Structures are given as structure tokens and as C-alpha cells.
């Protein structure tokens, strides 16, 4: 044996740089099953604690791309544009965004994932629609893209299989927040996917994996650099995740809210971010004359949504699941909501059944948290503030513990400044 997992782990544990040969070997060996989950978990933790240099991240990403196939969308008549979010609470933006951009003339090959920790997963959300399928063959994916213009599906087994294993492992080993692992995970899939352009939604705040704008900026610059180096036109928006996006956190709850946006309504922050990302995607794809706001208003985005859901086996008219049990949390005082912590809300939704503690766990389609007020809103004592949804009421007590310090209510007349949704653009 020329290499072994323990030596690679020790190198990074002791603060050293992994060589190109070490990276290539450990990614390949883990993909083949020669390196065990517990060994890769130890290496992931060493990377989280000690970091990686730029050249290490680039090689790690290239090794994950090389672990599988690369897709080719050159046969499509439309330019391709994709988007990726680093994850947040109530982040349902992909659902209205993909059909909206398709309605404006681009092809959106959206490869999405499952929930990670306290953040929701796009595939988990869409699977609350009866009949909808996340798993498509490459041929099916290309067919939906050609016919509809947008597809949201899981990455196939052949696309960056190393990342598929690492993605699930990071969720259950406390290593999600590592910038090198996040950047390489996202960009290996996106580069292997073959999209012509990519817009990144990099979130900062309590509900994001990057808690500070500085860390989010570092992650964004790392990913923009990786994309550019591989010939993919890449831009990033830094967006706020100190407060949940929209008024829902949970699977079916977020689908329902996304449909409201496509129907011309929905919460203002969800609409604002959807349109901002749509404009970036269309600009990157060369469709500078397209107007996504018009596509929302005239119903063409909704038409694209219905076609996309139907093409993947779903029934866009079927009723979404609703929870068997609800619990209302009321305002403890009258005043102005000064803070509603995204992380606490995300943990509560996870504890209610919307997320998973182990990678093999199922999720409840109807579980989650519904918000009745956001920062800046006036409330009166006893007014409903949150509604908790679950099929298993024994979860309420545990979820409520997560919300004990989630909300601050200031006195009436207190000064309040809303944080903008889009904080910064990095290209």
C-alpha cells in the first residue's frame, strides 16, 4: 500500500497540507469503500478545525468531480443557468425560481439535496407533492429540460459520487460548517453538472452555516474562484439569514408558500430574493432583456411550475399534506418584534419532524413552523406568534425548548431597522 487513511488523517490533524496525491487517493478510496465512514468523518473534522489552502480545496474539488461522470447540455436550444443556496431556514427560493427563470427563456438544471441539520432540503420539500419524483435518469433530466426548461432533481449516482457520500456524512458528524467542505461539495456537483453559468446564494446569519458576513464572503469568494477556474461563469449574492425567509419552515408548508409566490403573492422577502436571483441568472445566461417580474405577474412562471411538477410525476393540483396536530405560541408581551432567530426556528422545525437526525431518517411532510409575525411587526400580548405543526405531538415539548429565547419583543415605538435581504454581490 502506497497510502493509508490514518496517515492522511494525521497530516491534516497536525495542521499540515494534504498533497495532491493524498487527496486523489483518499477521495477515490472513500468512494470505493476502502476508507470507512468513521475514517472520513475524522478527516472531515480535521479539515473543519485546521482548514485547507486554496490549492488543496481546488484539488479536493477536482478529485470529487473525477469520481464520476460529467453531464453535457450542449444539445439544448436554451442557455443553461443554475443556482445554489448554502442553506437556511425557510429557504424555499429554488421552488419558484427554477420555473420563473425557465419561463424567461433559460434552461435550469437544478440538482438539489436533502435537509442538512436545521436547514431544509429542496428535495424533501418537493416530495410532499403526491407522486413527485426526485430520482431521474440523465435521459429523463434532459427530456424535462428540453420540454419544460426547468428540472429539480437529485444528483444521479454517476455525478460526483464522492460528494453524495460525503454530503450525508457531514450532516451527522458536525462538519457541515467547514468552508472547504461546503465549497468543494457545491462546486463539484455544479461543475460536473455541466451548467454554463451559476449564481450562488451564500447566506449569513444565525440560521446559516456561515454565521458572519466575513465567513460568508470567504465562502463565496472560494466558490466563485472554483467556478471561474473551471470555465463556469459564476457570481454570488450574500443574503441575510438571521431571520427565517418567508412565513414558513417545513416541507409542505414551504411548497404551499412557493405556490403563493408563483401566483403573484407570497411574502415580500421571498419575492424580492427570487427576483434578485432570477435577474442574476438571466444576465449570466445572456438573457438581459427578460423580465422575471412580468413572468410572475402574467402567470407564465406558474405554467412552467405546473409543467415541471407534472413532468416529474407530481400532481400540481393535489392537496398538500397537513399536520395532525398543531400548537400555537403566543406573544409574551405587546410591542414590536425586534428579533426572531432563524436558527432557533430551524431547530424547532427539525425537532417537529421536518428534518433528520440520522442520514437514513425519514422526514414528516407536514411538520414545521408557521410564522405569524416577523421583525418589525407590531404584536399584542397573547397574539399568535408561531404555530407548530407535527404528526407526533410528543415532539412539541422538545421543539418549544428550542424556541425559549427565539423572540425579542421591544416596547411600542422602539426604533427598528430591517436588515436588507441582499447584503452584497461578489463576482
What per-residue confidence (pLDDT) applies to 13?
97
Q: Each residue of 191-230: pLDDT tens digit?
A: 998 899 999 999 999 999 889 999 999 999 999 999 998 8
Write down the H helix ranges in 266-412.
268-284, 292-297, 300-311, 342-349, 396-402
Q: What is the pLDDT of residues 287-346, one digit of tens each?
A: 999 999 999 999 999 999 999 999 999 999 999 999 999 999 999 999 999 999 999 999
Give the contacts of 355 (CB within 8 A, at least 6 positions apart). Answer: 115, 117, 118, 119, 120, 346, 349, 363
* Residue 147 pLDDT: 95
Q: pLDDT category, 415, cuts 50, 70, 90?
A: confident
CATH code for residues 82-156+175-311: 3.40.1030.10
pLDDT (average), residues 358-380? 91
Helix (H/G/I), strand (E/B), else coil: 90: coil
**Least reliable range by pLDDT among 12-26, 121-135, 405-419:** 405-419
| 121-130 residue pLDDT tens | 899 999 999 9
What residues act catalytically? 84, 163, 170, 185, 189
Considering the entire predicted model, what is its pTM? 0.90
Domain parsing of the chain, residue ranges: 5-51, 82-156+175-311, 325-410
Average pLDDT over residues 254-271: 97
Q: Express as a percent the part of the chain with pLDDT over 90.
A: 83
pLDDT at 41: 97
Task: For domain 325-410, give the CATH superfamily.
Answer: Pyrimidine nucleoside phosphorylase-like, C-terminal domain (3.90.1170.30)
- β-sheet bridge partners, residue 379: 335
DSSP string, 140-203: HHHHHHHHHSEEEEEPPTTSSHHHHHHHHHHHTTT-TT-HHHHHHHHHHHHHHHT-SEEEEEEE
When pLDDT is averaged across residues 132-142 and rounded to a whole number, the result is 93
Neighbours of 413 (CB within 10 A): 9
Q: What is the architecture, at CATH level 2, of domain 5-51? A: Up-down Bundle (1.20)
- Give the separation between CA 144 and CA 122, rounded to whole angstroms: 18
Strand-pairing partners, residue 111, are: 153
Amino acid at each position: 500500500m502506497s497510502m493509508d487513511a490514518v496517515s492522511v488523517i494525521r497530516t491534516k490533524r497536525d495542521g499540515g497540507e494534504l498533497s495532491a496525491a493524498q487527496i486523489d487517493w483518499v477521495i477515490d478510496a472513500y468512494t470505493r469503500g476502502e476508507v470507512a465512514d468513521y475514517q472520513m468523518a475524522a478527516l472531515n473534522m480535521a479539515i473543519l478545525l485546521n482548514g485547507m489552502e486554496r490549492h488543496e480545496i481546488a484539488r479536493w474539488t477536482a478529485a470529487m468531480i473525477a469520481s464520476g461522470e460529467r453531464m453535457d447540455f450542449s444539445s439544448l436550444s436554451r442557455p443553461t443557468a443554475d443556482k445554489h443556496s448554502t442553506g437556511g431556514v425557510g429557504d424555499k427560493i429554488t421552488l419558484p425560481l427554477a420555473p420563473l427563470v425557465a419561463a424567461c427563456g433559460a434552461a435550469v438544471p437544478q440538482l438539489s439535496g436533502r435537509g442538512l441539520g436545521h436547514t431544509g432540503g429542496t428535495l424533501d420539500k418537493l416530495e410532499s407533492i403526491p407522486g413527485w419524483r426526485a430520482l431521474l435518469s440523465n435521459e429523463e433530466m434532459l427530456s424535462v429540460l428540453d420540454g419544460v426548461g426547468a428540472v429539480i432533481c437529485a444528483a444521479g449516482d454517476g455525478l460526483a459520487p464522492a460528494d453524495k457520500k460525503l454530503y450525508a456524512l457531514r450532516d451527522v458528524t458536525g462538519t457541515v460548517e467547514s468552508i472547504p467542505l461546503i465549497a468543494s461539495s457545491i462546486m463539484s456537483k455544479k461543475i460536473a453538472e455541466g451548467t454554463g453559468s451559476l449564481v450562488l446564494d451564500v447566506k449569513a446569519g444565525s440560521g446559516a452555516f456561515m454565521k458572519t458576513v466575513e465567513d460568508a464572503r470567504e465562502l463565496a469568494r472560494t466558490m466563485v474562484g472554483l467556478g471561474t477556474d473551471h470555465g463556469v461563469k459564476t457570481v454570488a449574492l450574500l443574503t441575510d439569514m438571521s431571520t427565517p425567509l418567508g412565513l414558513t419552515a417545513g416541507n409542505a408548508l414551504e411548497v404551499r408558500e412557493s405556490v403563493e409566490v408563483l401566483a403573484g403573492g407570497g411574502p415580500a422577502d421571498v419575492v424580492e430574493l427570487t427576483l434578485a436571483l432570477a435577474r442574476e441568472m438571466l444576465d449570466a445566461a445572456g438573457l438581459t432583456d427578460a423580465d422575471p417580474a412580468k413572468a410572475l405577474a402574467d402567470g407564465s412562471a406558474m405554467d412552467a411550475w405546473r409543467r415541471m411538477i407534472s413532468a416529474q410525476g407530481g400532481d400540481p393540483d393535489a392537496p398538500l399534506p397537513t399536520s395532525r396536530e398543531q400548537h400555537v405560541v403566543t406573544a409574551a408581551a405587546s410591542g414590536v418584534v425586534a428579533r426572531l432567530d432563524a436558527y432557533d426556528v430551524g431547530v424547532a422545525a427539525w425537532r417537529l419532524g421536518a428534518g433528520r437526525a440520522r442520514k437514513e431518517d425519514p422526514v414528516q411532510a407536514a411538520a414545521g413552523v408557521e410564522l405569524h409575525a416577523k421583525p418589525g411587526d407590531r404584536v399584542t400580548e397573547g397574539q399568535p406568534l408561531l404555530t407548530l405543526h407535527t404528526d407526533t405531538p410528543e415532539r412539541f415539548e422538545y421543539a418549544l425548548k428550542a424556541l425559549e429565547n427565539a423572540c425579542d419583543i421591544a416596547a411600542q415605538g422602539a426604533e427598528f431597522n430591517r436588515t436588507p435581504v441582499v447584503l452584497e454581490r461578489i463576482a
